[in-house]
Amino acid sequence: MRIVTLEQLGRRLAALPGTPRVVVSGNSAVPWDALRVLDESRDEYIVHALNAPPGIPDRPGVTAETTFVGAGMRRHQGLSYVPCRLSLVPILYAGPLPPDVVIVHCAPPQDGMLSLGIEVNVLPAAIEACRARSGLVVAVVNDRMPYTGGDALVDVSAVDLAVEVSGPLPVHEPPPPADDSRAIGERVAARVADGATLQAGIGAIPDATIAALRDRRGLRVWTEMFSDGVVALDRAGALDPDHPLTTSFLFGSADLYAWVDGNPRVRMARTETTNDPGLIARQRAMTSVNTALEVDLFGQANASRIDARIHSGFGGQTDFVVGALHSPGGQSFIALRSWHPKADVSTVVPLLDEPVTSVQQTAVVTEQGVAELFGYDQRAQCRHLIRDAAHPRVREELWEEARALGLA
């Protein structure tokens, strides 16, 4: 690993042939200093990131490539969305989407090992694929990045160039949940027993669900990501103290980042591990909590598209739905408000007109109630969705549509 200045990095990036594919840390760990240098040094390039936040360069010559669309790419003029389950993304790097450059955001090395800190995800696979084809691996070393272990560790010998920076990480301070989110969280939490294993992402409903579990005991965590709610569970004594907290990336407050820094209980794992349905199925009473944009009377969930425009992507929802249902005592929930407050429409619809993200969950949970799906025939599923999950304003209309669909 050779330490260089940002200017020297820019000259190296400018010398790359063709239109290089550059994989960068995503979510809340984007290496902005290096990305700025990349944009200034090249007319054309492909930037590949998962769930990129606002700030991704958007101009002619920049292709924004991703398998999960974040706010920073959602309306990008050069968006290239590659549909893929998150567990399979690493395979793309060794096949159709080979990286020419990988730029990762790291904590300073300890004993010859850098740490990917709060963002592991698909990055180890990207580094391996890049090195296999003699590409360029760059580390942006930030003394404000927490040092985490597991698959976050990267030997300095795997890095060609490093630039040193010092800057704060993005933080997320969740507001108190609204009444409907709290009601949904409490309904889901009521189905979670002591000793269960949790997967819940970021957002008002997952936050409310986790907050409602503080009186449980022996809970475990196996998830794509976690935030401050897991810290609160730990401080409340709800977690199994002898079991590692397995996750692939983190996003939350400064308190969260301080808590995970050097914490041996936090096991950062690569996507091939966290999102492997077979490994998910081996977790004790695996309980998966995901959300969606809408569900239909066949129990199909759309969490990806709005008006045919890509909003996010498959992500890990399918991985965890399948894995949880194969876990002994496992459950998979789709949790969402029954009425979309901004669009002013029902989130329970007769039939999806968008591609399906997932199907065959244990139940759909809204502030109205819990619609049981798994193990019921399609007519009963439809009945439960209308009676127990849909907003009262649309139930009569949904019954009419159900009869037209042969479900009632």
Catalytic residue list:
224
CA distance 336 to 280: 23
User: Which residues, in sequence order, are bridge partners of residue 370?
Assistant: 365
């935030």: which residue's tokens? Answer: 227
- Burial pattern 387-402, b for ≥16 Cβ within 10 A else e, equals ebbbbeebbeebbebb
Distances (CA, A) of 35 to 44, 121, 163: 13, 19, 12
Is the CB of residue 278 less than 8 Å from the CB of residue 323?
yes
Neighbours of 329 (CB within 10 A): 13
CA distance 151 to 206: 25
Contacts of 197 (CB under 8 A, 6+ apart): 219, 220, 221, 222, 283, 284, 285, 286, 287, 327
Is the CB of residue 120 less than 8 Å from the CB of residue 248?
yes
Is the CB of residue 221 less than 8 Å from the CB of residue 263?
no
Contacts of 343 (CB under 8 A, 6+ apart): none
Assigned token pair, 359 = 């199907």
Assigned token pair, 361 = 């969950």
